[in-house]
């Protein structure tokens, strides 16, 4: 039997309406839990954050200094991410008038049918274009349910290309004097950096895109010492305060979100991404990263 609640003598004169009774304590706890669930499910998944930061690149041409490069990642077009949210995100980025736009993989969420590809074809009409160039790479979800379906990947590539977006699969393009390297996906067993890095001029500015940050720990980068932009992790989607996220789809648990210095001098930036797999986020808002290019 629970003993009765005893009120100390010095508090008995305090107005009763301010007392924290057991019932009031439970009600407050339940209300707080309900608000947390509502925030995690209905608010934070669409509470997009524009993250502004510098991107210093060695040897950057003077004409690119101060230009704006926007990174989109992990949009996950499909049944779990609202079309209106994706369209609004594209419109917000377009309003920034970016000079370069890069997408670092997982345009769609792999699904039991090909509906996300058709859905992506409609939404990409609103995809923001860079005034100087727009490029994309593929992520594991762009290879279908098994992460190895080359036919799905070709169809995703065709949708992107049809929207005027240059898809790089272990390939390089040059935009206004900047070498942009796009690596193919690790989980799809298509990551093959050796050939493309042989063609990179180390004496000229370069930027690499690789969906899965675990690729940074693999061989094949040669003497590349520049920036790598990644996604894939979603920042864990749900992150307890002051603790690392409990679920991360990477081997290197250090790779959560944000900037990381690698031992050989390369630098990595991991975006938390725009979309989600399950419609939940906590303490880990979706992200679009707005970089200001500068000379290192």
pLDDT recorded at residue 23: 59
Mean pLDDT of the chain: 90
Tokens (6 digits) for 109: 């969420």
Please determine, for residue 73, whether its predicted confidence score (pLDDT) is greater than 80.
Answer: yes
Question: How many residues can be counted in the chain?
Answer: 296
pLDDT band of residue 199 (cuts 50, 70, 90) is very high
Please determine, for residue 39, whether its predicted confidence score (pLDDT) is greater than 50.
Answer: no
Render pLDDT for 217-253 as a digit per residue (tens, 0 to 9): 999 999 999 999 999 999 999 988 888 888 899 999 9
pTM, two decimals, is 0.86
Report the C-alpha gap between 15 and 20 in whole angstroms: 11
Q: 135-146 as b/e, with b when 16 or more CB fall inside 10 Å?
A: bbbbbbbbbbee
Domains along the chain with CATH numbers: 31-295 (3.60.21)
Report the C-alpha gap between 83 and 278 in whole angstroms: 15
Pairing of strands 258-261, 267-270: antiparallel
Report the C-alpha gap between 180 and 107 in whole angstroms: 19
């Amino acid at each position: 039997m629970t003993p009765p609640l005893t009120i100390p003598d010095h508090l008995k004169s305090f107005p009763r309406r301010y007392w924290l009774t057991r019932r009031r304590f439970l009600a407050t706890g339940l209300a707080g839990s309900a608000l947390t669930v509502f925030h995690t499910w209905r608010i934070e998944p669409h509470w997009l954050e524009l993250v502004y930061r510098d991107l210093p690149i060695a040897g950057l041409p003077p004409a690119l200094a101060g230009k704006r490069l926007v990174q989109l990642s992990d949009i996950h077009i499909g049944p779990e991410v609202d079309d209106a949210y994706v369209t609004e995100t594209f419109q917000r980025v377009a309003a920034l008038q970016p000079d370069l736009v890069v997408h670092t993989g997982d345009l769609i969420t792999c699904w039991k049918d090909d509906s996300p590809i058709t859905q992506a074809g409609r939404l990409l009409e609103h995809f923001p274009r860079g005034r100087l160039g727009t490029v994309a790479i593929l992520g594991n979800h762009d290879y279908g349910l098994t992460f190895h379906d080359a036919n799905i990947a070709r169809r995703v590539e065709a949708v992107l290309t049809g929207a005027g977006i240059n898809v790089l699969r272990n390939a390089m393009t040059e935009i206004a004097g900047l070498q942009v390297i796009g690596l193919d996906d690790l989980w799809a067993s298509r990551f093959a950096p050796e050939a493309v890095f042989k063609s990179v001029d180390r004496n000229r500015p370069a930027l690499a895109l690789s969906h899965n940050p675990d690729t940074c720990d693999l061989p094949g980068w040669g003497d590349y010492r520049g920036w790598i932009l990644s996604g894939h992790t979603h920042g864990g989607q749900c992150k307890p305060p002051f603790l690392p996220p409990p679920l991360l789809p990477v081997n290197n648990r250090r790779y959560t979100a944000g900037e990381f210095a690698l031992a050989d001098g390369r630098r990595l930036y991991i975006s938390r991404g725009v979309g989600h797999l399950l419609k939940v986020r906590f303490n880990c808002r979706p992200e679009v990263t707005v970089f200001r290019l500068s000379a290192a």
